[in-house]
Structure 1
Amino acid sequence: MKFLLSNDDGYFAPGLTALAEALSALGEVVVVAPERDRSGASNSLTLDRPLSLRRAASGFHYVNGTPTDCVHLAVTGFMPDSPPDLVVSGINHGANMGDDTIYSGTVAAATEAFLLGIPAIALSLAGRPPTHFATAARVAVDLVERYRAQPWRGALLLNVNVPDVPYAELKGMRVTRLGRRHKAEPVIPASNPRGETIYWIGPPGAVQDNGEDTDFWAVAEGYVAVTPLQIDLTAYRQLQFVTEWLQG
């Protein structure tokens, strides 16, 4: 089995190293990740300059671009004649739940694989700072072994969040939906050395929807949250309203 690994924390991130070490026991591992931390890059592609692909001493490959760039370049340019069987993005340093998935570079890398027709998993460790990377890596192995025993019918995109606890303390896995947050906190003003006002993006808002079927609830209760994602953003319930609005 051939794996393509990426992330948004950079090729030097310990979560990526833990993931590569764990999955190397199950097949061939190719790593193509950003050269620096690109957290929050979402699904952005670099279109205003060329990209470069370099190989680090670790054997990992790194790109001067976004997580989406990494997967797109790897699948369509670096390994087009031998595509991966599965793309795994992570292990992210922190959770990617609810609305966070819209901004997440970790989820974006997996999404790009899915759009290219390759099954993908985005894997995040819900700790700040994260500690138990071995737990998340073992969850990745569990999921891959399940996949090998019972392959998915067509490409599937899973968002997986792992509680930051020892593996033995996990209560199991729950299939969940995305929860919701309140709106983000306001930006934080500051001054640069020239006395000009600059702004830091504030922290995410508090959790608003954390019902028992959500990823927020599952992780808080000690379960691995497994959320299948889709890309179709069409608001189907609004189609009739907009049609009538335009006609009226």
Structure 2
Amino acid sequence: MKFLISNDDGVYAPGLLALYQALSTIGEVTVVAPNNEQSGCASALSISTPLYMHQLDSGFVVVNGSPADCIYLALHELYRHTRFDCVITGINSGANLGQDVMFSGTFGAALTAQLFGIPAIATSLVGGGVKGKVQEQASHYRIAADEIVKLLTETPILDICKNLPYHVLNVNIPDVDSANDIRGRKITSLGHSQIARPVHHMVDPRGRDAYWLSLRKRQHEMPLDSSPEPLLSQQVVLDAAGTASVPEMTDYRAITAGYVSLSPVRLHHTPAASLDKLSELAL
């Protein structure tokens, strides 16, 4: 298998290295990643400034652009003669759950691949990015990377993704000390959680107003009296056209219960019901 990988944490991020090392055990891996952190840039493309690339001693290709830029450039120029079996992005430092996927550069890069017909998987390690004063241990990323390899080798997920056009598989993996602490995998829908404080206002040293945007969620992602246990047996059902019925378990619930969350996210789609509703308008 041939994999193209990228991320939004930058080419030196431990999650990218762990993903590269794990995938290299089952296939040929090409890395094209941003030269610095690009979190929150979604699927932004640099169309008003030129892109530059260079190759590190490791063989990784570095680009002065967004994650979507990296995938776009790789597919259409740098490796235009290579047929990749899958684009995998991450492993993101911190969760990409619920509505966060719309802002995530990790997800945005995977989306860019899917728009050009390449099966795409966005991966994240749910640990909050930075815990206290230290980031997740490298061993935690290795556990997450091994879970991705197991997903690809133990299940037909890649074949299913190939038959689901305009879908990105959004994968979140619990941040644990041992692989034995992961209870399994669950197909989930995207949840929704309130942002605790969307904008932080401050005054800089020169007395100017400054604003820091935040996606940090409230402490409890789901009601305290809600238990994920009754929903653990719910599975997604795919019909012949690849349409998925919405599972009752959300990504938040699955992660809270200790499961790897697999959320199929469909894009580039106009629901027929919405067209019918809007067609009733007198325009």
TM-score by length of 2: 0.81
Q: Closer, same or farther in 2 for the Cα pair 1:168/1:97, shift >3 Å?
A: same
- For the residues of structure 2 that align with 1:238 and 1:72, how far apart are their CA atoms? 31
Q: Which amino acid aligns with 2:214?
A: G
Correspondence for 1:90: 90
2:194 is the alignment partner of 1:194: no
Per-residue displacement from partner, 1:50-85 (whole Å, max 9, x unpaired)? 111111222211111101000010011111111211
Aligned CA-pair RMSD: 2.1
Correspondence for 2:51: 51
Instruction: Report deviation, 1:233.
Output: 5.0
Correspondence for 1:79: 79
- For the residues of structure 2 that align with 1:112 and 1:42, how far apart are their CA atoms? 10
Of 231-240 and 59-68, more deviation after overlay is shown by 231-240
1:180–1:208 CA contact under 8 A, matched in 2 = no
Instruction: Report deviation, 1:134.
Output: 1.4
- Count of residue pairs the alignment pairs up: 247
Query: Which residue of the other structure, out of 143, 163, 179, is the alignment partner of 2:191?
Result: 179
Of 9-18 and 205-214, more deviation after overlay is shown by 205-214
- For the residues of structure 2 that align with 1:183 and 1:133, how far apart are their CA atoms? 26
Q: Closer, same or farther in 2 for the Cα pair 1:11/1:150, shift >3 Å?
A: closer
Query: Which residue of the other structure, out of 152, 159, 167, is the alignment partner of 2:179?
Result: 167
Instruction: Report deviation, 1:173.
Output: 0.2
**Structure 1: gaps of 5 or more residues:** none
Q: Closer, same or farther in 2 for the Cα pair 1:184/1:241, shift >3 Å?
A: farther
**Structure 2: gaps of 5 or more residues:** 131-135, 232-248
- For the residues of structure 2 that align with 1:192 and 1:27, how far apart are their CA atoms? 49
Q: Secondary structure at the match of 2:92?
A: strand
Correspondence for 1:13: 13
- For the residues of structure 2 that align with 1:139 and 1:146, how far apart are their CA atoms? 10
Correspondence for 1:143: 151
Query: Which residue of the other structure, out of 254, 258, 265, is the alignment partner of 1:222?
Result: 258
Instruction: Report deviation, 1:88.
Output: 0.7
Q: Closer, same or farther in 2 for the Cα pair 1:234/1:205, shift >3 Å?
A: farther
Correspondence for 1:234: 270
Q: Which amino acid aligns with 1:241?
A: K
- For the residues of structure 2 that align with 1:3 and 1:193, how far apart are their CA atoms? 46
Of 165-174 and 205-214, more deviation after overlay is shown by 205-214
Q: Secondary structure at the match of 2:216?
A: coil
Q: Secondary structure at the match of 1:112?
A: helix
TM-score by length of 1: 0.92
Q: Which amino acid aligns with 2:256?
A: A
Instruction: Report deviation, 1:208.
Output: 5.8
